[in-house]
Amino acid sequence: MELTILGCNAAIPTTTRNPSAQVLVANGHHFLIDCGEGTQFQLRKLHVSFMRIEAVFISHMHGDHVFGLIGLLSTMSLFNRSSPLLLVGPPDLQSYIAPLIDKFCDNVTFEVRYHPLRFDKPEVIQQIKSINVKSIPIRHRVDTCGFLFRELPKEPNVKKSAIYKYGLSIADIVSIKNGHPLFDPSGEEIPRSELVKEAAPPKSYAYISDTAYLPDLHNELTDVSLLYHEATFMSDLNDLAAKTLHSTARQAALVAKAANAGKLIIGHFSSRYDNTDALEAEAQQVFLNSTAVYDGFKIVF
């Protein structure tokens, strides 16, 4: 998996940070997560192909997460996109964007499909092949979901040496891949390590957008490879975070620690912070493997 941060500022663009948007590439699939103002400019600047995006996931209907969407769709149509685009978001995403498409995208060249989110419980979104995508309701001033992307488990590879040594048939190979044992002529089980090379463990990525601190959120994120969690404020503004239903860097780290995440990245920073080193340091006091992202930040995991 590869993640590119297009924007990591809260509420408004600044001279150094754009509003929320990022691209996840997983098993060859390209997903855009949130689409704040300036997203298509960032896509071009960072050499990310917007025509390869298969789905756009909108966490909630606040402008800093959605204002860039109509411009992006218009450009896709101008470039004669033909493949369908899936828009995943709150139910009112369609009523917001469809009239704008009609107004600004004359003779749109591709089909726009919609998948409305639900906010009463997590939901598996099954339209994406080879990747399991789950929406996770979180708590903000409007209905909001985070997203969890998990690779589907891959089959192990049966070793060529074992195929020749034991004269394995296609049925034997399928059986071994499915986890069944193989026995030699004497009835002794052949060690599985001699038969297969196990596939790498599935990787996963969680995007936790604007939310108040949720102490039980980690239950949905257990062992996630990479966790992005909003960290709008530092802990000295804990009261403001609670009032606006946002999180602090320390709270983001608490979620990562409880989830046993592989790595935490924090973003959605208040414009009051020109430098994010202090937010990163605050998170690292709780969860050492924490990094404050920036526009253009890229990680392969």
Active site members? 64
DSSP calls for 217-250: GGGGSTT-SEEEEE--B-GGGHHHHHHHT--BHH
Complete edge-to-edge strand list for the sheet that includes strand 29-35: 112-116, 85-89, 53-57, 29-35, 21-26, 2-7, 298-300
